[in-house]
Amino acid sequence: MRHPTAAIARARHLPEVLPALRQAMRTSLTGRIDNWHGEYAYTLGEQAFIYGFPYIYNAQLRHAWVTQRRNPETVPYAAVNHFWHAGRPIDAGYRDGGCPNNDTLYSVAWVHLRHEPVVLSHPDMADRYFTFELAAITSDNFDYVGQRTTGSRAGDFALVGPDWNGELPSRVRRLRTAPTPWVLILGRTLVNDKDDVANVRALQVRYRLTPLSMFGEPGAEALESRDVLEPVTAEQDPLGPGRP
């Protein structure tokens, strides 16, 4: 129950809020808006916020996961075009976005596709459930690789940016074209119980991300760039693609 003095203080402010309350009720009852300019500006602002939110939020997430080392066992931290793999299932203490499940080990990567495609490879997964969710920086999921969509056999899949036109090796399957040059990969591999974690970890280390220009070279992988705006490519690197 409110203290009497608090109730009196609130009552004194009623004359100030009554006009706004009357206007809101009249709009609700009649459907008529007197100040449509204000309403229009408000709804435009809401739409702009909804449209722009993923660009800002995902850019912040990309910066954090690429450049900020915190708890690498459960919080993503990897260079551009490199996988980070969770060391154990994520629990309720995780606070870095989304609502992660706790029966998989995650494999996460921010991939840059402005200059060339990047090939995602995985080994034969037998009957184990796994999936790689592919999301544009707009948060739209544009394709999936996994047991349900592409099958469990070992495969190589090309992530292709919006401006690339070229030929892929015959063994590489092209995925749907990414709508943005930056792509987030959210991989999930089923863990049956705590004794199964080591088996999944052995699979995770065989997941590969390889720039197309380096695909087919034994042990080839992208440079460890942590530039979240425009990562250096193999061709731009002064030490060349054989950089140690």
Predicted pLDDT at 240? 42
- In a domain, residue 199? The reply is yes
Contact 188, 106 (CB under 8 A): yes
- In a domain, residue 33? The reply is no
Contact 148, 138 (CB under 8 A): no
- In a domain, residue 208? The reply is yes
Is the pTM higher than 0.75? The answer reads yes
- In a domain, residue 72? The reply is yes
Q: Count structural domains, the chain.
A: 1
Which residues in the chain show pLDDT less than 70? 1-4, 6-8, 10-11, 13-14, 17, 20-21, 23-29, 31-34, 97, 232-244
pLDDT tens profile 27-61 = 666 766 667 788 788 889 999 999 999 999 999 99
Query: Percent of the chain scored above 90 by pLDDT?
Result: 61
Predicted pLDDT at 79? 95
For residue 84, the 8-state DSSP code is E
Predicted pLDDT at 197? 95
- In a domain, residue 124? The reply is yes
Q: Which CATH number does the domain housing residue 203 bear? A: 2.60.40
Picking from 165, 175, 156, 163, the residue whose alpha carbon sits closest to that of residue 214 is: 156
Find the domain containing 120 and state its range.
61-214
Contact 242, 217 (CB under 8 A): no
**CA–CA gap between residue 2 and residue 60 (Å, rounded):** 43
Predicted pLDDT at 43? 87
- In a domain, residue 35? The reply is no
- In a domain, residue 25? The reply is no
- In a domain, residue 111? The reply is yes
Partner residues linked to 184 by β-bridges: 110, 135
